Structure 1
Amino acid sequence: MTSDITLFVNPAAGRGRGARSAQPAARVLRDAGFSVRTVLGENASDALRRARAAVAAGTGALIAVGGDGVVSLALQATAGTPTPLGVVAVGTGNDFARALGLPVRDPAGAARAAAEALKGDGGRPVDLGRVGETWFGTVLASGFDSRVNDRGNRLRFPTGRLRYDVALVAELAALRPVPYRITLDDGPALSVEATLVAVGNGTSYGGGMRICGGARMDDGLFDITVVGPCSRSTLLRVFPKVYRGTHLDHPKVTVHRAARVRLETPAGTDGGTGYADGEPLGPLPLTAETVPGAVRILGAA
């Protein structure tokens, strides 16, 4: 193992926590005997290009400093390679880190866990989802929650998380089920009406919403949560349960397990954009497959 490792930093994550967290993380890694190089990017595509270049050059590890957005970019660079990934989770949601029992908003602790893993077992192999050439670690979302994302991304005011609260209220007013065709592995297509369909490699999205609360990242399977047609009042009653994962017991909720899933909506139906790890993938149809042990994560429980 080379002692040269790369910090992959999103300085804007968590309202500036990314920039503030890089220094204590780097200090811990250097104190552990590693040579640390920091990579930033002018934008997401430039950052990804630089991260891939570091991996191709043989860095001993890529350590992502930021939130789920920078982790998503880091997965594109490390998945399917022998380069392990460390996560210094200091963003707003940190769902990937939480699912793996990694320290959250503790840059020194996260860096220490990564250093110990590099000197020890080299990290834990975990599964990832893949849609085409795009990898994801947590959840692929479609339906109501993806339409909230779409609307929120179009709004110029208000800013921050309030923008998505406004988008949520607007989408509730227009709530409607979507006709889906869901194909699990090589089985027959299921025709269902659904408020949303979430494909979980990990358990949560949106900063702790355990939409796929039973998902595991080492079993080679997705948990696919289907929320059937429901009224606005039902959705509002069930929504708070998502943070505990107890929504899975509701009669409107069905969970399937499969290694590959295809989501389709009929021609002329607005199924919205699919989002994975909070990043847009594009409109349905989409096919996702699990890739067992696609990346090694440093310090994962």
Structure 2
Amino acid sequence: MNQKIKLIINPVAGNNAFQKAKDEFHQAVFALLGDVSTAFTTAVGEATRLAQNALRDGYRTIVAVGGDGTINEVVNGFFEDGRPVSPEAELAVISMGTGGDWVKTLELPEELHEAAKRIAEGRTKLCDVGLLTCRSSDDRPVQRYFINIADAGFGGTMVERVNQSTKALGQFFAYLIGLLRTLAVYKNKPVEIQVDDVFHATQVVNSVVVANGQFFGGGMWVAPEAKLDDGLFDVVIIGDVNRAEVLANTHRLYNGTLGRHHKVTTLRGKEITLRSEHDVYIEADGELPGKLPAKFQLIPTALRIIC
């Protein structure tokens, strides 16, 4: 590749996955991509600033090296004040994190050499991006882009627990343990839901999932029909399920059949608004931006991805 490439690396993602594979990384990635520039994150949110600065400096390809949270931060660096910083720029990903959910939808390789080879080949597609507007935990306005899935309710509480726990057992067990710990204490809450002009209701829910991609929560296949470039969110409303129902149907989260449960509603739309009189927290691409009220808006073909 003859264009300028910037690698933004989260060295502690995936239980220090980069540090453990540093030699292999150098042999695989630098051999295939050649003379590239690297930057390492040292704090939460830093990948956004690094991506924006790189794009302003003329880098054409930004490679996020880490997990879903790192990817989310880098994606946010592609936009400023609602506009792309560099419309022709491309995002590439080398997955080294806990979740790895967005790369599953794109079917990107996890092996380092194959991931670098895919970047070197340079095939791209335009993907949709979500724009989330909500309130922070201390009630400040928040605006955040997401590329995979946002979830209000159970998922926001679960991700908080996962992020506070060890990832030493790997992504599957980290999220499964987080699910079980959250299930022991979480109470479903009434939420007012509006999807475009086709659905408007207030109901007690466990979660409302707004999906651009198909997977979240370390491999949970919550939206099997979602496409990254169809101009629509897939909305999965998980109703007033109790603990026993969650446990009895956990397998549905992993085999893509959750939508068949009688307390689950699936819809599609471009703009979703959620409100509640209770504190209902949100996760977006594994990050925790805030709580309801929230609006989720789809921006079609907003980001060019190397895939």
Instruction: Output the TM-score relative to the length of structure 1.
Output: 0.87
Aligned: 1:260 with 2:266: no
Per-residue CA deviations over 1:215-251 (Å, capped at 9, x if unaligned) read: 1101010011011112211111111211111111111
Cα distance in 1, alignment partners of residues 102 and 55 from structure 2: 21
- 1:270 corresponds to: 279
Aligned: 1:193 with 2:204: yes
Q: Structure 1 residues 173, 20: closer, same or farther in 2, change over 3 A?
A: closer
- 1:290 corresponds to: 298
- 1:38 corresponds to: 38
Aligned: 1:149 with 2:173: no
Contact 1:275 1:281 in 2 (8 A): yes
Q: Which runs of 5+ in 2 are unaligned?
A: 134-142
Cα distance in 2, alignment partners of residues 165 and 129 from structure 1: 26
Contact 1:2 1:60 in 2 (8 A): no
Contact 2:13 2:97 in 1 (8 A): yes
User: SS in structure 2 opposite 1:35?
Assistant: coil
Contact 2:8 2:64 in 1 (8 A): yes
Q: Which runs of 5+ in 1 are unaligned?
A: none
Cα distance in 2, alignment partners of residues 102 and 144 from structure 1: 28
Q: Compare the two structures and name the one with the higher strand fraction.
A: 2
Superposed counterparts of 1:25-64, under 5 Å:
25=25, 27-28=27-28, 30-32=30-32, 34-64=34-64
Instruction: Output the TM-score relative to the length of structure 2.
Output: 0.85
- 1:136 corresponds to: 146
- 1:71 corresponds to: 71
Aligned: 1:100 with 2:106: yes
- 1:4 corresponds to: 4
Per-residue CA deviations over 1:240-278 (Å, capped at 9, x if unaligned) read: 21111111111111101001101111x2x232x111001
Q: Structure 1 residues 34, 167: closer, same or farther in 2, change over 3 A?
A: closer
Q: Structure 1 residues 134, 22: closer, same or farther in 2, change over 3 A?
A: farther
1:112 aligned to 106, 112, 117, which one? 117
Aligned: 1:231 with 2:237: no
Number of aligned positions between the proteins = 288
Contact 2:155 2:282 in 1 (8 A): no
User: SS in structure 2 opposite 1:146?
Assistant: helix
Superposed counterparts of 1:237-248, under 5 Å:
237-248=248-259
Which residue identity is paired with 1:69?
Answer: G
Percent of aligned pairs sharing the same letter: 31
Which residue identity is paired with 2:149?
Answer: V
User: SS in structure 2 opposite 1:234?
Assistant: helix
Q: Which moved more, 1:219-228 or 1:36-45?
A: 36-45
Per-residue CA deviations over 1:119-170 (Å, capped at 9, x if unaligned) read: xx4x1111111114311111111112222234555x6xx6447776665445
